[in-house]
Amino acid sequence: MAAIAQKANTILIEVGSSSKDDLEDLESGEGELYKKIASAVERLKDSGAIDPEAQPVIFVVEQKKDDDVWGRY
């Protein structure tokens, strides 16, 4: 698969691992994870790093775990 170049106006915020409850709250537009993301976006808007009318797009990525200690062959 070819690599996709990141555009100048693309901003990625990594928030680390989150519990299932945090992700469910995020889907509802509430909770600590939502507040953390909203705060980061607001700081970027206030600093002029992004347009004040910019709309965030949130992706949740789940890391698959190996089935066993040795992984799959």
Residue 7 placed within a domain = no
Residue 16 placed within a domain = no
Cα(62)–Cα(31) distance, rounded to whole angstroms? 19
pLDDT at 63: 74
Which residue did the predictor score with more confidence, 1 or 15? 15
pLDDT at 1: 47
Q: Are 33 and 25 in contact (CB under 8 A)?
A: yes
Residue 69 placed within a domain = no
Q: How far is CA 27 from CA 24, 30, 49, 54, 64, in A?
A: 5, 8, 26, 19, 21
Range of the domain at 42: 22-62
Residue 68 placed within a domain = no
- Total domains present in the chain: 1
The 10s digit of each residue's pLDDT in 2-53 is 555 656 667 788 888 888 999 999 999 999 999 999 999 999 999 998 888 8
Residue 6 placed within a domain = no
Residue 43 placed within a domain = yes
Residue (of 17, 50, 54) closest to 32 by Cα position:
17
pLDDT at 65: 72
